Amino acid sequence: MKKIFILLNVFVFSIISFNLNAKDRIPFPVIKSEYVVFERMLVKEEHKEWFEDFWTNTILPVFEQYDGFEGAFMLVNSPPKGADASETDFGPLLPLGPPDKTFLPHGGIHLNGVQTDVQINFDSVLRGTYNYQVIHFWKDSDSLKSLVPELGEAWKKVHGNTDPWVILTKDYFTKLENHWDLVYRIIN
């Protein structure tokens, strides 16, 4: 949990830094991690609250056992409960989650060397395939490579002598329609 608060503080600091003079500004949030994992999940509607709790109280404490884990964020592509529709209406170029249209007007875009002023938003193809993303940061390549092989030991430190794959298969993946991971290298 401590690492999550550290990452949250870094995020808040990066927002505050926008109020500094231009010469004092940090161009990107200060993240020392070299790799980030995006886990995309389509959580069944009736299990959304359970999912958020499971990640916060079951999985993240396990990740905190790894030396190379440097924090995480959970993203959701639906508005807050009871929110007015206008609260999450950021215009057609900035939809909350994947857009419903693939081709959107966007000045300056070139395709095959021709200015089309149209963007092709390939995430529209993924619309409806995920509703949550958990993004976790890893110090370096070795840290991320340890994630799967060391899961059992990290799990035991938090949850005792249980098999994480049995728990995840029985309690976690049954509440999802889909799940996949993407790994990116971070450039600071």
In CATH, what is the architecture of 1-5+30-77+130-188? 2-Layer Sandwich (3.30)
Rounded CA gap, 145 and 99, in Å?
33
The domain locations on the chain are 1-5+30-77+130-188, 96-128
Instruction: Of 10-24, 83-97, 150-164, give the range with the top mean pLDDT.
Output: 150-164
- Category of 148 on φ-ψ map: left (φ > 0), alpha (ψ -120 to 50) or beta: alpha
Alpha-carbon distance of 188 to 182, in angstroms, equals 19
pLDDT in tens, 98-125: 888 999 899 999 999 999 999 999 999 9
Token pair belonging to 76: 């959701």
Interval 4-46: pLDDT, tens: 444 444 443 444 444 445 556 666 666 789 999 999 999 999 9
